[in-house]
Chain A
Amino acid sequence: MDDVSHKAKREDVCPSKKLDRATVEAQLAQTSGPEYWRSLEELAGSPEFQDMLHREFPKGASEWVDSFSRRGFLQLMGASLALAGMTGCTKLPLEPIVPYVRQPEDVIPGRPMFFATAVTLSGYGSPVLVESHLGRPTKIEGNDKHPASLGGTDIFTQASILGMYDPDRSQTITHLGDVNSWAEFVKQVKGPLAVQKGLGGAGIRILTQTISSPSLADQLRAFLKLYPQARWHVYEPVNRDNVLEGAKMAFGQPVETRYDFSKADVIVSLDADFLYAGYPGNTRYIRDFASRRNPDAPMSRFYAIESTPTSTGAKADHRFPIRATEIETVARALTDLSLPQTGIHKQPPEAMGFLRSIADDLWKCRHCRRSPTASGS
């Protein structure tokens, strides 16, 4: 296939007709009320996009143009299988063996080493044990001696090992795409920093993810002290800002709530997926929650009120699906119905009949052990 037709075919499969602003604005001018679109092509209603939308697979994806027949394939596969064992009869090629120059202490070649460390996700550290072979980490498991893990990990922690071998992982200092050295970086940055010194750092912006490392936070604070006008921005695509805001409203400061599900007799979850990956402390919560789910011992009762099906909801004794917007109403209604601290115990309104059993349980539990109510963000 020559280059031109190849290009033509690609555009055929994925229409990439350039849209100009005037066209889009003209299209928008004709609409009224809220409109939703998934791409600019859809917005413009281009015929290329309509064509792609109504065809399940792009052109060429489902065609079988190879002249190789099914019979030919089976013949070749049969022969390959029959002769597969012959590969054992080859002469092994010479293999190099490459020892260390200076072997690190405690390394036993052929046996893994385990390091206790932490993997952070959105600023929350998961205690882990990393298996390492001759300096190459290969597997992550939970640290069973750490109270926040007890040997458990979640999917994000398990998958974080792949980040070590991510080809896009930055391995060195680069400047405008070219590999550079740390010394060069220091040299380059010295000049602008000296200029900023006079301005109090007014031109400096630092962008980071959530930082929970005390030493890094301290270094940043020291930097901001040096450049008081500089700004430090923290961005996390999926954050818990609302949770911390809530904690501020409830306790006056942005505290983290830690639940003890091993002591809870009644658990009410308001859209909190606390048994699933990513929820801070979920590995510990799973163990604690499970410890009270033995039918031969006093069991806890778990109510899940949630807006999406979650694996936490699947574990609930009673699951009530409601809209995300109604969570607040339910939370307020629940405190109105049953607040053992103030001696209130009422019947719920007709519309929230499902809250009756929760309110009754919470009321019954006013003298028993703490009943956590977990809430999502």
Chain B
Amino acid sequence: MQIFHRSTNTISRASIYGAVFIVAGLGWALYQLQGSPYITYAGVVKPQPVPFSHQHHVTGLGIDCRYCHTSVEQSSFAGIPPTKTCMNCHSQIWTNASMLEPVRASYRSGQSLQWTRVNQLPDFVFFNHSIHINKGVGCNTCHGPVDQMPLMYQYASLQMKWCLDCHRAPEKYLRPRGEVFNMRYQQPTADNPVQDENGQSYTDQISLGKALIAQHKLRSEQDITSCDTCHR
């Protein structure tokens, strides 16, 4: 008695020989999913209690990063401003804006605003802002064009390979310490030379970066790519 249709033979043959490709295809799909914004949140705007615009405050009003993120130069944590920082200005301007009601409510009641963390690393990764700032990694090298973001989103994937891209070759990204908070900074070109800490001009990033590695006293590539640098 014929239980299966004749075509089943072809399908079974194909699947036996194709097993390797099916498994490989599944693996590839999972790998793609793992790196997709669905998992990493790269480029995804998360819900926030107040639609705070970095574009307006940074580009429009010219407020420095450190006015709000006060501890970025001294601590592992850049710091989220207390409600008081918002109210420094917003007790004077836009005092009736309904959008800002959660801020005023927080200030009245003493209950903290609950923001959603945008750049979130897993708990098994140790990250310190201050060391990156002090070694000449610009804010927008990792956080992207924050000055052009009406709503904040995570710029990079924050995956380990992304971290290692810089840790293996810091000279590709370093800039002079004075330019770290400059959101309009351009890497050196022939038309736009950049001076290192000693005042010497460079017209290409790699030679500038190599000079800065020495001047900022970066540890060796071996040291900063060692597992326990980040996984403590």
Please, which residues of chain A bring their CB within 8 A of the CB of B120?
Answer: 92, 95
Q: Does B17 contact A (CB under 8 A)?
A: no
Please, which residues of chain B bring their CB within 8 A of the CB of A24?
Answer: none
A-B contact count (CB 8 A): 72
Given A89-B34, A102-B83: A97 touches B116 (CB 8 Å cut-off): yes
Q: Does A37 contact B (CB under 8 A)?
A: no
Q: How far is the CA of A102 from the CA of B85 in the complex (A)?
A: 8
Q: Mark out the residues of chain A between 87 and 113 whose CB falls within 8 Å of any chain B CB in the assembled complex.
A: 88-89, 91-92, 94-103, 108-111
Please, which residues of chain B bring their CB within 8 A of the CB of A109?
Answer: 71, 75, 77, 79-80
Q: How far is the CA of A102 from the CA of B117 in the complex (A)?
A: 20
Chain B interface main SS type:
loop
Q: Does B76 contact A (CB under 8 A)?
A: yes
Q: Does B106 contact A (CB under 8 A)?
A: yes
Indicate which residue in A91, A96, A101, A108 contacts B117 across the interface (CB closer than 8 Å): A96
Q: Does B185 contact A (CB under 8 A)?
A: no
Q: How far is the CA of A97 from the CA of B47 in the complex (A)?
A: 12
Q: How far is the CA of A103 from the CA of B112 in the complex (A)?
A: 11
Closest residue of A by beta carbon distance from B49 = A96
Closest residue of A by beta carbon distance from B110 = A101
CB distance from A152 to the nearest CB of B (A): 28
Given A92-B122, A99-B80: A108 touches B115 (CB 8 Å cut-off): no
Indicate which residue in B39, B47, B84, B111 contacts A91 across the interface (CB closer than 8 Å): B39
Indicate which residue in B70, B71, B116, B122 contacts A96 across the interface (CB closer than 8 Å): B116
Q: Does B168 contact A (CB under 8 A)?
A: no
Task: Count residues of chain B with CB under 8 A from any CB of chain A.
Answer: 31
Q: Does B58 contact A (CB under 8 A)?
A: no
CB distance from A104 to the nearest CB of B (A): 9
Contact yes or no, B74 A102, CB < 8 A: no
Contact yes or no, B122 A88, CB < 8 A: yes
Contact yes or no, A101 B116, CB < 8 A: no
Please, which residues of chain B bring their CB within 8 A of the CB of A95?
Answer: 116-117, 120
Q: Does B4 contact A (CB under 8 A)?
A: no
Q: Does B107 contact A (CB under 8 A)?
A: yes
Please, which residues of chain B bring their CB within 8 A of the CB of A98?
Answer: 112-115
Instruction: Show 22 A/B contacts (Cβ-Cβ < 8 Å), sorted by A.
Output: A89-B34, A92-B41, A92-B122, A95-B116, A96-B114, A96-B115, A96-B117, A97-B80, A97-B115, A98-B114, A99-B79, A99-B80, A99-B81, A99-B112, A101-B83, A102-B83, A103-B82, A103-B84, A108-B70, A108-B79, A109-B71, A110-B75
Interface residues in chain B, defined as those with a beta carbon under 8 Å from any beta carbon in chain A: 34, 38-39, 41, 46-47, 70-71, 74-77, 79-84, 106-107, 110-117, 120, 122, 124
Please give me the 9 A-B residue pairs with the lowest Cβ-Cβ distance, nearest first. Answer: A110-B77, A110-B75, A100-B82, A99-B80, A103-B82, A95-B117, A110-B76, A97-B117, A101-B83
